[in-house]
Amino acid sequence: MKTKINLFLALFCLAFAVSAQQNEECMEKLSIFTEAAKVKNYDAAMEPWMFVRKTCPKLNNAIYVYGEKILKNKIKKSTGADKTAAIKDLMSLYKESMANMPKKFPVGKTKAKMGQLMFDEGFGTPIEQFNVFDEAYEKDAKTFQNPKSLYTYFKLAVGLYDNKTKDFQYLIDMYTKVTDKVEDERKNFSSKKDALLVKEEAGTITKKETRKLNSYSSFVSAYDQISGGIDKEIGTRAECDNLVPLFEKNYEANKTNSTWLRNAASRLAGKDCSDAPIFAKLVASFHELEPSAKSALYLGILNQKKGKTADADKYYNEAADLSTDNYDKAKIYYSRLAVMYSKKGAKGKARAYANKALAKSPSMGRAYTLIAKMYASSANSCGSTTFEKRAVYWLAANTADKAGRVDASLKSYASKLAANYRAKAPSKQDIFTNSKYKPGDKVTFGCWIGSSVTVPSL
């Protein structure tokens, strides 16, 4: 008995010693491959990385972070069977990362990477690629945030509809699901960006926060881009001529289903099909079942279509009041109320709502461009002299500049807009020969503008 105990203890100590030795070797090789990978010497990193990957798979998340870079480099440099093997190995690495470090490498984010790799490299069939994305979304939509992957997910769905693998209802459901996700993420990153813009304006933002602000701005811009890409992908497949019959056909079976009613109304509103009688039926049923910000918004759209501006204003404001998120409130103030009044020529009201939008979401640069355009269009009607009228363009240009500062996706457009306005403003010669205003003086405007601008030093 004593001999058996001694043998067990000896084996245990041996196993412990081997494990300690392996762990020490893993730490050494971890240091070697991370240093090599940091300087992109992936060939030198391969051998020590592979040892750590196989021997100590739970040691450090660098195994998977740098491993992804090592294998992507191998895929890029390989051809034929070697490339296929490298792709398969990266797919295996993604699976290992989820199994060994699930908190660091969540399903939604990681499987979306797998789907994107398959799509980019033409690996697997379209339905296989789609299914990987679909599993990522259905199991963990929260971490499925990559804009490019969301776009690819939908692009594949359109292809499956075109080859008759999926039906039209499925395509519309996918369109609703993905566009809602994009809007949620845009809202998420816009809210984070807005909080930091306030700190930047106050001069209290830190370097770390500035980096975060730039990151959030990049995400918002990316979501803006793919939003347009998704609409382009679905194209004429989801125009009113196709949507209206679909919702008319399914209305009776779904008239007490608030989710279906909300989604159907959203699709019709999004494609400007609100003239269709079915839209009014959908909205009425939805508002009766579930009075909400959305149903109030659709009632506002209905009344605006009918030319009932006062009623539209009432419902849009109700929708904004019922919204619990500042981003949603800002969208209503800008895209519904400010734009509506701008089209009607009620510039004062339009600006007031644009400013309400900016108060709720400081990064909503489109509100600044709307105000800038209204200022510019009023140049001939505000100001007593030719100089004062042309000075309005300085105000318009300064306002356009703000759009580019708060919204990176508008930077180029806002810059061109501002340059166009400054070209129409008084020149250096005009300032020099003017007897009333000199650089640093304020030009005050009457009419609806009721503001002023400082004469620049050109």
Rg (CA), the chain: 29
Measured distance CA(375)–CA(356) in Å, rounded: 17
- Walk me through the domains of the chain, giving residue ranges and CATH numbers: 24-105 (no CATH), 119-238 (no CATH), 241-290 (no CATH), 293-363 (1.25.40.10), 364-458 (no CATH)
Give tens-digit pLDDT for 123-181.
Answer: 999 999 999 999 999 999 999 999 999 999 999 999 999 999 999 999 999 999 999 99
Residue 14 pLDDT? 42
pLDDT per residue as tens digits for the range 52-68:
999 999 999 999 999 99
111, containing H or E segment: helix 107-121
Q: How far is CA 342 from the centre of its chain?
A: 26
Q: Indicate left, alpha or beta for 355 from its phi (over 0: left) and psi (-120 to 50: alpha).
A: alpha
The pLDDT tens digits of the residues spanning 351-396 come to: 999 999 999 999 999 999 999 999 999 999 888 899 999 999 999 9
Find out whether 396 and 373 touch, Cβ atoms under 8 Å: yes
362 CB-contact burial (10 Å; exposed 0-12 / middle 13-18 / buried 19+): buried
pLDDT above 90 as % of the chain? 83
The pLDDT, as a whole number, for residue 457 is: 86
Looking at residue 276, what DSSP letter applies? S
**List of the chain residues with pLDDT < 70:** 1-21
Question: What does the pLDDT read at residue 22?
Answer: 72
